[in-house]
Amino acid sequence: MNLASEWIARGVSKLRTSEPATAASEDPKPAPKAAPVRSTHERLKATLRRGAEVLPPRVLRRLMEDLQAASAEQVSEVEGGRRARDVIDWYASAAPEARQDLWLLICEQFGPDAERLQRARQHYDEADSEVERSQAEIALRRALTSARTRLLQRFAVPSGGMRFLLDLRAELLELPKSDRRFAALDAELEHLFSTWFDVAFLELQRLSWDSPASLLEKLIQYEAVHDIRSWTDLKNRLDSDRRCYGFFHPRLPGEPLIFVEVALVDDLSDSITPLLDENAATADISRASTAIFYSISNTQAGLRGVSFGDSLIKHVAQTLSAEFPRLRTFATLSPIPGFRSWLAKNGTPLLAKMSDKPRGELARALGLAPQATLDAAILLEAAEKAAQLPQQSPVRRALLWCAAHYLGKESHNGRPLDPVARFHLGNGARVERLNWGGDPSAKGARQSFGLMVNYLYDLKKIDKHRSLLAQGRLPVSRDIETLLKG
């Protein structure tokens, strides 16, 4: 090949950028570095969009002006709310990435005045008397009240504004926990919601078959524990021997924040099947002595961290006691959603703690030598047909022992591992009884091999149980203590 041919060949090979490089080719040039992420302060001063930025500077500046107009101190709440409506309307048609630019603006541009906050904190630290400290505290509180707070309050003013804020926070909560860019906005919304949705501003309403159809549809939509399969199923849950109550907020009419379904029976329920049986005979409520809370559903993802479930249960218990003086027992029939997954991860070391006799019986039932190491995977495999296990089965007894340990011993920072246990024990209940085969559905088998649990609300011991929990001790009944002893 002559020199001209070699020169042409080299030129052609350089143009073939889409072909993969070979061992004989020259080292590729390093990929250009990604453009550094700019703050909204930098982007507002810029002319052109850069990198992965969504909104161009011109649009970002216009959005910033709308936010400033809505949060302006000199305008009234009504006028601020009217201006906030413009942003809400823009948000409704904005892409998710563009919405995040709005969140960034709210986080970075509307925070507290850092210098004012520092001065207020210094004055508080240097206060020499209670009078000076009280005055300094007032100044510190005012310094902490940022333009962001005022802006979010203005968003709540127009019709649909509260719904907008709840949905916005629900979107925030869907982001990966590692994404901390919007932490300040999330924290401020949670703080405002804890005030706006305080139980003092909520109304307890009974929901019945005579409630508006739009409200009944909400029950079907939001039911989170036992799916409502049909209108007949719903009617059964609202029959004369049942009660359903929800908390409502005046700014969200026709929208329950949380609701509870109650069965009026004559003893602790050990299975969800008869409670959901559409053909079961209606109970004689004049003889009812027990109220079973068998489903509690939060409806607003944006209210995560704002707790009013304990208040709902107390209000419902008081309401039922007034209507049915014979009621003496208030308890739940609850799923154990975290049990199976926890046992799969932690079962092997737990099984090693079993006493010798039940451990040897379980080993033989699993086809192992009496002193063999018990692997949780083998136990889980044997438990696949849990519903068919006889009462004295070592596998069945082992699962009950493990479940009692999970609910009565396992905690993190003093809080139960299981989310449902965390809710009820945090509200002052105790772990009362485990029920084998309580939920024979596919969901029940997936979560807990069909096991369900009763949490008992002894209205005279709620504070005692909370005190135990604060000490890191999970309140349990004697039945659970007996199971734990093996």
Q: Looking at 89-93, 108-112, 171-175, 428-432, which range is the least confident one?
A: 108-112
Catalytic residue among 269, 334, 448, 465: 334
Q: Looking at 29-43, 51-65, 368-382, which range is the least confident one?
A: 29-43
What's the mean per-residue pLDDT of the chain? 90
* Same fold: 199-334 with 339-485: yes
CATH architecture of 199-334: 3-Layer(aba) Sandwich (3.40)
Calpha distance 272→115 (Å, rounded): 59
| Cα angle for residues 420, 421, 426 (degrees, 5° grid) | 105
**CATH no. of 339-485:** 3.40.630.150
Q: Sorting pLDDT into bands at 50, 70 and 90, what band is 182?
A: very high
Catalytic residue among 249, 424, 448, 465: 424
Q: Looking at 53-67, 254-268, 357-371, which range is the least confident one?
A: 357-371
pLDDT above 50 for 370: yes
What is the reported pTM?
Answer: 0.83
Tens of pLDDT, residues 229-264: 999 999 999 999 999 999 999 999 899 999 999 999
| Pair 469, 402: CB distance under 8 Å | no
- Fold type of domain 40-111+146-197: Butyryl-CoA Dehydrogenase, subunit A; domain 3 (1.20.140)
Report in angstroms the alpha-carbon separations of 381 from 100, 122, 234, 439. 46, 63, 36, 19
Domain residues of the chain, as ranges?
40-111+146-197, 199-334, 339-485
pLDDT above 50 for 3: no
Tell me the mean pLDDT in the region 427-448: 95
What number of residues does the chain have? 486
Q: Looking at 69-83, 135-149, 345-359, which range is the least confident one?
A: 135-149
3-state helix, strand, coil in the chain (%, to 5): 55, 10, 35
Percent of the chain with pLDDT over 90: 76
Q: Sorting pLDDT into bands at 50, 70 and 90, what band is 127?
A: confident
Tens of pLDDT, residues 332-345: 999 999 999 999 99
pLDDT above 90 for 72: yes
3-state secondary structure at position 1:
coil
Q: Sorting pLDDT into bands at 50, 70 and 90, what band is 6?
A: very low
424 is catalytic: yes
Tens of pLDDT, residues 273-282: 999 999 999 9
3-state secondary structure at position 243:
strand
pLDDT above 70 for 21: no
